Amino acid sequence: MNTFPRSGEEFDLQPDPRILPMLGEINLVQWRCLAEFVDNSIDGFILARRSGQSIATPEVHITLPTADVPTARITVRDNGPGMDPATLERAVRAGWTGNDPIHNLGMFGMGFNIATARLGSVTRAWTTRRGDAEWCGLEIDFEKLMQQKHFKTPKLTRPKVDPHEHGTEISVERLKPEQRQWFSRAGNRSKVTKELGRTYSAMLRPNGVPISVHVMLNGSWVAGRNHCVWGGEGNPDRVVMTARYGSVSVYQNVDVRLADRPFCTRCWQWLPADEEMCPACGLASDVVPRQRRVHGWLGVQRYLSKTDFGIDFLRHGRKIEIASKDLFYWNDGETLEPEYPIDDPRNRGRIVGEIHVDHCRVMYTKDRFDRNDPAWEEMVRIVRGDGPLRPDKASELGIGQNTSPLFLLFQAFRRSSPKPKVAGCYAKLLVVPENERAEEMAKRFYAGEAEYQMDTKWFELVAEEDRKLLVSSKAGSGSPEQHILEGFGTEGQREAPSGPPPVTDHTVPVLRIPVPSLTREYFDEESSLRWDVKAFRLQSSDPLLEAASRPWLLRRNPDGVYEFLVDVDHAIFQSATMTPLDGLLAELAHTAMDFLRANSSSATFASTLAALRDRYAETSKLDPIVLSGDAGLTLTGIARSLGKNIGSEDSRTLFNELSPAEQEWILQKMAARGVRNPDEVISGGRFLEYGPRKTLLKFVEKHPELFFDGRYWDTAYSTLDYGRAAATEEAQAQVLHYHLGLLTDAIWLDEQDPTDLADASRSRLLRAALALELLSADDGSEREV
């Protein structure tokens, strides 16, 4: 049927005024509502810069209500270029499509309407440009609009004191009762500050991307939350050597420019490279070449966390996704398989980053990039590569070499604890032994304390632990002070005498070696006492310790700082149950008791010391979850080492030696884990990692020559020679028996449920924990797992 328009007649399809308040039913949290206004301000700043009229100091001022009263209002004001009346009218119109989808964050549109409707029922928008004689404004009152049944609202003006003044002000009034109540709570306002600081951190920096802005909330500047990472701007370039991938920097820059692609600004969609007309709207006038660039960085956080890690994804400097963990999963199109963190018993991670994808679409709520946009898949390939992060998984699937930034970081820093624990292992992984301490220092970093902005204090703890291992490995070859960590820069070396003022009660020079792991602020909850402690290692011949054969001394300086001076070579520390930390905590507990007795407290020395140990001796605890996880990693490492020591034919022969039940178990496990080419895994000598742990034990017992003499353990076995066959066999039997006993303990740990381990005796757990240490203590190989 043919249809023809009737001359002079038309339908008015303008939406009913009731549409606007209905937008308030869309669930947009409070800080995201405010972010819509901030986005609009930033778009104004960027527009001014593109037109050659940059704002010298771009600022956005937010005022939130502090009391639940009917007159409460929210105001957001900027010093942007302002708008003329016609632009203002279009800008607040619901569904206005004049946005620049390429360069802008929002430019009002539906986001503005959703945000204002979510917060209140009356919105006033004011704007003025430099040189205008007055402010121009309008009011959106939902109740009035619904009563009058049209969208017309009068033009408002107000006088302007300074003709050079410019900017835009949005005021939301008649707030909804639940919003007034929410904003009246100080904790919620702090939450808004925190979220805005994270979302706009890339622009709140001095050299912001794409511009630098200042945001003030209720009279206080919003600080951007930067990442607490190793390396990066102002820090040493921390580089580690890996056997397979060479040197890997802990801070990976990403900057890939892709070829321009046609883009339809009307339909907001990409076109094939050779298209000049949009197939959706049929127009060529709105098709423009669009730049495509993926840039940013990936790095390693100075502490581990169960939640506070992941990659931030940004569009035009605004963070759309924060701490996303999507790229830590292998997606084969059917299932998602987690790849990181898989080596930490507590599922803690530390890989972070900021990746800018300005050319990728985002959802209207600005909390997620559109995964259906081809730009997202391009970014994934650039940042994490085409295949799995795990080389063994890539080998199973027949996928070639991966050299993406995320892959390199994963290979070098995926572990949360070193294995084996030998001198230099902590510096190679850049892991602080006591994570709780690292997290505590990170809080000071985020608070902006100057001395914690660099990664020096974290590296001091790393280097100290490596020095301990170096001293242990060279016991008896000289004084401990002669053994310093080499090869990791000046931060890993013994410091010259420094620290608190020198003692005055003797004239002998004091050699003081700072002990970073004990230097910190300590706090006792019962007494509310705080001690600012600086710890130093002294020689036993020092007069302060020698007179009374003291292993340590705690004393308070006139400036209120406590010095803990300790002789780590004292006989008391040769015990397995006494450490310098134990001595310090005992001294602090004694000090706290002196204070508490004077205040008639019922606390005891035992309870005070127990509380201090619970707070500060975390690393000495026998954590069943950690032990179980470490056991699994250790056994898997031993199983995987087989493939590096045998050829494909030998591997198939050894697999065939297993019992039919063991072979069936291994094949079923491969199937469950999605191995597509089991024969390749078998010929590669990696079948043991799919078998029962008892199979590994029997295999080591039957073929010890494949695991000793540097193949996994450095311990001599095949190379032993006592000149008599019987003596040599006895020595080999002892070596094997010793390691089989350790393996049995590790298998016991791995097979127990952590809840069952919690009921195990301390002695049993301690024995198993020591077995794990001993199993990896002489591992001289550098394994890629």
Q: How far apart are CA 21 and CA 340, in angstroms?
A: 44
Question: Picking from 184-188, 306-310, 324-328, 773-777, which range would have the lowest pLDDT averaged per residue?
Answer: 773-777
**Nearest-5° angle of CA 621, CA 624, CA 628?**
125
Residue 255 pairs in a beta bridge with: 295
Rounded to 10 degrees, the C-alpha dihedral 427/429/433/434 comes to: 120
Q: How far apart are CA 235 and CA 250, in angstroms?
A: 11
| Residue 473, pLDDT score | 57
φ and ψ at residue 127, rounded to 5 degrees: -150, 150
Dump strand ranges (E) for 222-332: 239-242, 246-249, 252-264, 269-270, 287-305, 310-315, 318-324, 329-331
Which is it for strands 134-141 and 120-128: parallel, antiparallel or unpaired?
antiparallel
Look-up of token digits 């602020």: 521
Instruction: Give the pLDDT band of residue 564 (cuts 50, 70, 90).
Output: very high
| Residue 109, pLDDT score | 56
Q: How far apart are CA 320 and CA 368, in angstroms?
A: 6
Q: How many CB atoms lie within 10 A of CB 399?
A: 14
Tens digit of pLDDT for each residue in 712-765? 888 899 998 888 888 999 999 999 999 999 999 999 988 888 777 778 887 888
Is residue 378 within 8 Å of 261, Cβ to Cβ?
no
| Residue 17, pLDDT score | 63
Instruction: Give the pLDDT band of residue 24 (cuts 50, 70, 90).
Output: low
| Residue 146, pLDDT score | 79
- What percent of the chain shows pLDDT beyond 70? 88
19-221 under CATH 3.30.70.120, yes or no:
no
Distance of alpha carbon 761 from the chain centroid: 35
Please tell me which of 300-314, 462-476, 592-606 the model is most confident about, judged by mean pLDDT. 300-314
Q: How far apart are CA 187 and CA 182, in angstroms?
A: 9
DSSP secondary structure of 630-688: HHHHHHHHHHHGGGGTS-HHHHHHHHHHS-HHHHHHHHHHHHHTT-S-HHHHHHTT-GG
Inform me whether the pLDDT recorded for 778 exceeds 80.
Answer: no
**Nearest-5° angle of CA 516, CA 517, CA 522?**
100
| Residue 487, pLDDT score | 31
Please tell me which of 175-184, 232-241, 356-365 the model is most confident about, judged by mean pLDDT. 175-184
- Return the exposure string of 559-592: e unless at least 16 CB atoms fall within 10 Å of the residue's CB, then b: eeebbbbbbbbbeebeeeeebbbbbbbbbbbebb
**Nearest-5° angle of CA 747, CA 749, CA 754?**
145
Is residue 588 within 8 Å of 612, Cβ to Cβ?
yes
- How does DSSP classify residue 488? S
| Residue 187, pLDDT score | 95
Instruction: Give the pLDDT band of residue 381 (cuts 50, 70, 90).
Output: very high
Instruction: Give the pLDDT band of residue 6 (cuts 50, 70, 90).
Output: low
Tens digit of pLDDT for each residue in 188-245? 999 999 999 999 999 999 889 999 999 999 999 999 999 999 998 888 889 998 888 8
φ and ψ at residue 636, rounded to 5 degrees: -65, -40
Cα distances (angstroms) measured from residue 415 to each of 300, 347, 401, 421: 11, 11, 21, 13
- Return the exposure string of 178-201: e unless at least 16 CB atoms fall within 10 Å of the residue's CB, then b: ebbebbbeeeebeebbebbbbbbb
* pLDDT, average across residues 421-445: 91
* pLDDT, average across residues 542-548: 71
Inform me whether the pLDDT recorded for 117 exceeds 50.
Answer: yes
Is residue 759 within 8 Å of 730, Cβ to Cβ?
no
The reported pTM is 0.79
| Residue 554, pLDDT score | 92
Residue 122 pairs in a beta bridge with: 141, 173
Helices (H), 348-404: 374-384, 391-397
| Residue 10, pLDDT score | 56
Which tokens is 86 given? Answer: 């016609």
Instruction: Give the pLDDT band of residue 7 (cuts 50, 70, 90).
Output: low
- Find, among 442, 232, 447, 451, the residue nearest to 354 by Cα: 232
Examine residue 210 and say whether the peptide bond preceding it is cis (omega within 30 degrees of 0). yes
Instruction: Give the pLDDT band of residue 26 (cuts 50, 70, 90).
Output: confident
Rounded to 10 degrees, the C-alpha dihedral 475/476/480/486 comes to: -60
Domain with CATH 3.30.565.10 in the chain: 19-221
Residue type present at position 169: E
Is residue 655 within 8 Å of 667, Cβ to Cβ?
no
DSSP secondary structure of 319-333: EEEEEE-GGGEEE-S
Q: How far apart are CA 531 and CA 202, in angstroms?
A: 37
Inform me whether the pLDDT recorded for 587 exceeds 60.
Answer: yes
φ/ψ bin of 390: left (φ > 0), alpha (ψ from -120 to 50), beta (otherwise): beta
Query: In the predicted model, what is the mean pLDDT of the chain?
Result: 85
Tens digit of pLDDT for each residue in 263-290? 887 777 778 878 888 887 878 878 888 8
Is residue 77 within 8 Å of 169, Cβ to Cβ?
yes
More confident call, 415 vs 482: 415
Which tokens is 631 given? Answer: 């056991």
Q: Give me the helix-helix angle, 660-672 and 648-657, nearest 10°.
A: 120
Helices (H), 107-163: 110-119, 142-148
Inform me whether the pLDDT recorded for 1 exceeds 60.
Answer: no
Q: How far apart are CA 324 and CA 360, in angstroms?
A: 16
Which tokens is 511 given? Answer: 């050699």
Residue 128 pairs in a beta bridge with: 167
Tens digit of pLDDT for each residue in 68-99? 999 999 999 999 999 998 888 877 775 544 45
* pLDDT, average across residues 303-327: 96
Expressed in angstroms, the distance from the first to the final Cα of the chain is: 70
| Residue 484, pLDDT score | 29
Q: How far apart are CA 207 and CA 115, in angstroms?
A: 29
